[in-house]
Amino acid sequence: MEILIIGGNRYFGRRLTDRLLQSGHSVSVLNRGSSVPPEGAAHLVADRNDERALEKALDGRTFDVVIDQVCYTPRQAVVAQRVIGPRTRRYVMTSTVEVYEYENSPVPLSEDALDLGTVTVDTRLPWHDPEFLDAHYGEGKRQAEAVFAAAPGFAYTAVRVAHVLGGEDDFTGRVAHYAERIRAGEPISVPSVNHPATYVYVEEIAAFLEWAAHQEFTGPVNAHSHGPLTTAEICAEIEKRVGGRTVFQEVEVGEVSPFSFARSYGMDNARASALGYRFSHTSEWLGTAIEETLR
């Protein structure tokens, strides 16, 4: 297949590109030129926010599948649907569990917990401002999904990715946050009611995206391993490897540690399972994921 990957030159995006190349696909990677894709992939250079530049970079090209790793705003979605939509048979957007950021559910959330038809899309908001975008990450993804969902005849799927763990190239610093405090026995801030969350191993989400690229289903799909994890379970694995002691400090207000959640918005992966994908259980890879990242 002819596959275009937008962004995705690090972490699980890099693994996805490698997988597709190893499977014999013709892969093109589009980014602003700040990094070179793996050997064997064609390199297209353009700022996705610049519609004219995007048109020029894709002139005369068509693709079986486009996998968009870096669509964060409704503005980007509008441009992508307009410029790239006519050039591909299928569009796969990497979305996030954070689209459910307004939920607090006693049961795991299925995809229809978010009705995209009710999402207000506002392209006039300052999506170009990095601070605004960072503070409204989930909202940006939600509005981007809504743009794709409203486009007539647009064959898209939004892969709602859980919190990702694993890999020596984990750039988030979240595991390091815990490791530093556990080594020193320093308090780790958690909410007084701390809910478990859904997670996925870095290699597994790359595999899932590769699988999704070959499928025909459309609409959103939750992507995560079975077995929600608590902050305590993650810290226990870190403590085994770094020594020290885990000390939780409950806080009523203020910032809490990265894998602590005052709301319950874990996902349900039943749709992906019904479509034929078999996810692992977190118990199968948690220790490995922590070991890799600490390494």
Rounded Cα gap, residues 29 and 32, in angstroms: 10
Supply the pLDDT for residue 33.
86
- At residue 253 the predicted structure's pLDDT band, cuts being 50, 70 and 90, is confident
Model pLDDT for residues 190-199, shown as the tens digit of each residue? 999 999 999 9
Rounded Cα gap, residues 13 and 18, in angstroms: 9
Model pLDDT for residues 234-251, shown as the tens digit of each residue? 999 999 999 999 999 999
Supply the pLDDT for residue 289.
97
Supply the pLDDT for residue 254.
82
Q: Average pLDDT in the 87-98 region?
A: 97
Supply the pLDDT for residue 129.
96
Supply the pLDDT for residue 25.
97
- At residue 8 the predicted structure's pLDDT band, cuts being 50, 70 and 90, is confident
Model pLDDT for residues 112-122, shown as the tens digit of each residue? 999 999 999 99
Look up residue 225 and give its two tokens.
């391993």
Supply the pLDDT for residue 148.
97
Q: Average pLDDT in the 276-286 region?
A: 98
Q: Average pLDDT in the 211-221 region?
A: 97
Percent of the chain clearing pLDDT 90 (strictly above): 95
Supply the pLDDT for residue 34.
81
Look up residue 105 and give its two tokens.
């559910």
Supply the pLDDT for residue 58.
96
Model pLDDT for residues 11-21, shown as the tens digit of each residue? 999 999 999 99
- At residue 252 the predicted structure's pLDDT band, cuts being 50, 70 and 90, is confident
Residue (of 59, 58, 49) closest to 79 by Cα position:
49
Supply the pLDDT for residue 265.
95
pTM above 0.85, yes or no: yes
